[in-house]
Amino acid sequence: MKSKAKIIGGISLIIALIAIPIGIFTPEIRVFLELDKIYVIDDKFNDDFSNETIQYGEFVDERDNKLYKWTKIGNQIWMAENLAFIPSGNCDFELWIEGFNDSFEDKWYCIYNNEDKYLEKYGILYTWKAIEANEDCDICPNGWHVATDEDWKELEMFIGMNQSLIDEIKYRGNNEAFGLKSNMDWSRNGNGNNEYGFNSLPGGYRHYGDGKFYNIGNYSLYWTATELSEKTAFFRSFRYEDNKINRYYDDKRSAFYIRCIKNLK
């Protein structure tokens, strides 16, 4: 049986990662001191990943009590799944249900194909307006933010992308996406090995032009918090056919997934 991270106390900053071979702990169990929580992590839980050195755990979004996994890649702590916060309270977002004929200028989120069965696995698709409103709404949980273009670049260089390619606007690199893609659900032998525990699933997207949903099983697309112009912003995408990482931009009215990253203090 896979063991999960258990919260046993509180401390205000990531300060240690140590092995404790005594008492109730074994050499397989480590203590990870993370913002306001102490996680006890059993390495057997790493069965989900091919790299047993991954540091990871779970936390609860106090807004809706949803449990999220996180993974530490280099010096960054990323959500290991897509954001799935359904706006409520101070987040006065409107659900985008209809397609092209719908007036969706103020529609900020949706579920793939408008079917709840996709919510738990893939999370919520957001237009960039949800990010734009982040200062007032905090679309990510407390202590986290929507990953910026620079955050993604740091990740890409850590996993081996040549620095000379980082600023290119196209599919870049060679095999870097292989370690970020999930080891299941990608079409036509497009699975990765999830080496870093990022677990990118091919959840597709919704295009602003016609309001239709596309490419579940083939692509995963993630907004960054970095805009290129008044109407466009940068995103990242992975595809089934190779293991390059796409850095490109799109109209802010399209709906992509969001990965939050831990604030560093």
pLDDT values of the chain reduced to their tens digit, one per residue, 265 residues: 333 333 333 333 333 333 333 333 333 333 333 333 333 333 333 445 456 778 999 999 998 999 999 999 999 999 999 999 987 655 656 666 555 445 555 668 899 999 999 999 999 999 998 888 756 678 899 999 999 999 999 999 999 999 999 999 999 999 999 999 999 999 999 999 999 999 999 999 999 888 899 999 999 999 999 999 999 999 999 999 999 999 999 999 999 999 999 998 7
Query: Per the domain annotation, does 88 fall within a domain?
Result: no
Query: Per the domain annotation, does 84 fall within a domain?
Result: no
Last-in-domain residue among 19, 45, 79: 79
Query: Per the domain annotation, does 40 fall within a domain?
Result: yes
Positive/negative CA dihedral, 40, 46, 52, 57: negative
Look at residue 125 and give its three-state secondary structure.
strand
Last-in-domain residue among 79, 103, 136: 79
Last-in-domain residue among 26, 45, 79: 79
Which domain does 62 fall in, by range? 6-79
Tell me: do 140 and 207 sit in the same domain: yes
* DSSP class of 101: T
Tell me: do 129 and 71 sit in the same domain: no
DSSP state string for 55-74 = EEEEEEETTTTEEEEEEEET
R_g of the chain computed on alpha carbons: 18
CA distance 126 to 95: 10
**Number of domains making up the chain:** 2
Tell me: do 74 and 118 sit in the same domain: no
Q: Is 153 exposed, middle or buried (0-12, 13-18, 19+ CB in 10 A)?
A: middle
CA distance 40 to 45: 11
Tell me: do 73 and 115 sit in the same domain: no
| pTM for the full predicted model | 0.80
